[in-house]
Amino acid sequence: MIHVCQHPLVQHHLAALRDAATPPQLFRHLISEISQILFYEATRDLKLKPSTVTTPVAECASATLAEVIGLVPVLRAGLGMANALLEALPTASVWHLGLYRDHQTLKPVTYYNKLPANHGLDVAFVLDPMLATGGSANEAIRILKAAGVPRVIFIGVIAAPEGVQALRATHPDVPAFLGAIDSHLNERGYIVPGLGDAGDRQFGTV
């Protein structure tokens, strides 16, 4: 399932995020705002278990999350998303996954993987603002599945149709929650109109 968020705030923040004049400080803030809204949509189906809490007045039937949740930011650009989502769900564990795109082949190269052997995750959210060719997302999801994570969900800010198609073809069981699907990829594998290089714009390395 591909879900493109229709929330007006996401569209509003996307306009500023795409703007080439937006500086890194504001860019990080906007990534954070958009990611949290996408996360609320992507977590709609998480399982709950019943619990009881004692309020100052009486006992109250309640519910808490029944599943162990992992956030998997794809370095570097997914880092800002992970920070934002930890604010929304501070009990989540974070598994950093370092992938970069080789500039010639556009294929992902893994350089860092910090998943503990006994992770115990029920659901992992792969976080990467850009779904371009889909190579990085597909590789991240492959690694998670190989590590035995039962359920994987992708959250991205801007996608190219090529990336969506690649994700669907390789991991049809993985839902994707996106802020927008743009026109196409250019000859250098950048999303058009997109926002440029999400890692560089977030960390001021343009």
CB nearer ligand URA, residue 27 or residue 39: 27
Place of tokens 């569209």: 11
Tell me: does residue 179 bind ligand URA (CB under 6 A).
Answer: no
36-44, 62-70, 115-123, 185-193 -> range binding ligand URA (CB under 6 A): 185-193
Q: Which residues of 65-102 are buried (b: 16+ CB within 10 A; e: fewer)?
A: beeebbbbbbbbbbbbbbbbbeeeeeebbebbbebebe
Catalytic, 201? Answer no
Rg, Å, the chain Cα set: 17
The 8-class DSSP code of residue 188 comes to: T
Contacted entry of ligand PRP, ligand URA, none for residue 190, CB cut-off 5 to 8 Å set by kind:
ligand URA
Q: Does 162 bind ligand URA (CB under 6 A)?
A: no
State phi, psi for 163 to the nearest 5 degrees: -70, -40
How far apart, in whole angstroms, are the C-alpha atoms of residue 31 and residue 51?
A: 34
Residue among 24 and 189 whose Cβ is closer to ligand URA: 189
CA distance 151 to 145: 8
182 makes contact, choosing from ligand URA, ligand PRP, none, with CB < 5 to 8 Å by partner type, with none
- Sketch the per residue contact string, 167 through 206, with ligand PRP: x for CB under 6 A, - otherwise: ----------------------x-------xxx-------
List of residues contacting ligand PRP (CB under 6 A): 74-77, 99-101, 106, 108, 128, 130-137, 163, 189, 197-199
